[in-house]
């Protein structure tokens, strides 16, 4: 391979290390061409899977600022660059490796950090994006229902209070200001005696 081609491949790998959601390094020794096709098919849109030379992968990882990758680059290497759901991709690789022992997970890269094989397998135990979204939607729906109940409760109390007040007012109109006839005036101690006597005596014929 000419040197410019190697430089282009290193640049491509470095870009994938930087921009992919994650990367899983595997050894595919013993897998047939059909096995590799089945593996790619099982990953679907969640990841791309391709063979990579160890020397070029080491250079690309260093250019991307990732340390530790070179420690696991022994034997033939193929890399799954995760472009979709990380949990779904790692589960696909883990399950395929269980059914096909020739596939071995060497390690991986997540957010610019190198992960050993055990850490990569733990990613497979995470809940998928679909499950997390479903749980989030359920939590949001529950919170909305709770908020609606809290808003409706004061309105219901207010309606019950208004109804009780209306019933009481119909039974006793004097409870409402201005309702009913005004009470008769009562003479006070300050009413002049003459006025009081005049009011008390019958009118002369």
pLDDT tens digits, one per residue of 36-73: 999 999 898 899 999 999 999 999 999 999 999 999 99
* pLDDT score recorded for residue 126: 84
Q: Are residues 114 and 146 in the same domain?
A: no
* pLDDT score recorded for residue 171: 72
Give the three-class secondary structure for 108: strand
Q: Are residues 116 and 131 in the same domain?
A: no
- The larger pLDDT score, comparing residue 166 to residue 75, is at 75
Q: Are residues 28 and 75 in the same domain?
A: yes
Residue 174 is assigned to a structural domain of this protein:
no
Total domains, the chain: 2
Q: Are residues 70 and 143 in the same domain?
A: no
Residue 181 is assigned to a structural domain of this protein:
no
Q: Are residues 117 and 46 in the same domain?
A: yes
Degrees to nearest 5, angle at CA 113 with 111 and 118: 105
Is residue 120 over pLDDT 60? yes
Q: Which residues contact 28 (CB under 8 A, 6 or more apart)?
A: 36, 51, 76, 77, 78, 102, 103
Q: Which residues contact 65 (CB under 8 A, 6 or more apart)?
A: 112
Max CA separation in the chain (angstroms) = 143
Residue 196 is assigned to a structural domain of this protein:
no
Q: Are residues 116 and 159 in the same domain?
A: no
Structural domain including 21 reads: 3-126
Q: Are residues 7 and 100 in the same domain?
A: yes
Q: Are residues 33 and 106 in the same domain?
A: yes
Residues β-bridged to residue 111? none
Is residue 141 over pLDDT 70? no
* pLDDT score recorded for residue 103: 95
Q: Which residues contact 1 (CB under 8 A, 6 or more apart)?
A: 9
Q: Are residues 68 and 131 in the same domain?
A: no
Residue 122 is assigned to a structural domain of this protein:
yes
Q: Are residues 107 and 149 in the same domain?
A: no
The token duo for 204 is 């002369």
Residue 12 is assigned to a structural domain of this protein:
yes
pTM of the model: 0.61
> How many other C-beta atoms are found inside a 10 Å radius of the C-beta of residue 34?
8
CATH number of the structural domain spanning residue 39? 3.30.70.1730
DSSP per-residue codes, 52-99: E-HHHHHHHHHHTT--SGGGG--SSEEEEEE-S-HHHHHHHHHHHHHH
Give just the sign of the alpha carbon dihedral 172, 176, 177, 180. Answer: negative
């Amino acid at each position: 391979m000419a040197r410019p081609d190697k430089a282009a491949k290193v640049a491509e790998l470095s870009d994938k290390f930087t921009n992919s959601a994650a990367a899983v390094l595997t050894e595919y020794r013993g897998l047939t061409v059909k096995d590799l096709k089945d593996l790619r098919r099982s990953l679907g849109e969640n990841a791309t899977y391709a063979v990579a030379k160890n020397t070029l992968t080491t250079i690309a990882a260093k250019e991307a600022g990732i340390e530790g990758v070179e420690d696991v680059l022994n034997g033939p290497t193929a890399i799954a660059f995760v472009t979709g759901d990380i949990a779904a991709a790692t589960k696909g690789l883990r399950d395929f490796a269980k059914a096909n022992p020739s596939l071995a997970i060497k390690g991986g890269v997540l957010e610019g950090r190198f992960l050993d094989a055990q850490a990569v397998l733990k990613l497979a135990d995470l809940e998928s994006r679909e499950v997390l979204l479903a749980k989030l939607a359920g939590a949001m729906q529950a919170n909305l229902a709770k908020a609606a109940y809290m808003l409706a409760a004061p309105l219901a109390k207010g309606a019950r209070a208004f109804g009780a007040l209306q019933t009481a007012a119909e039974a006793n109109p004097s409870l409402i200001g201005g309702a009913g006839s005004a009470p008769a005036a009562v003479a006070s101690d300050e009413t002049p005696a003459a006025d009081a006597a005049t009011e008390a005596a019958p009118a002369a014929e």
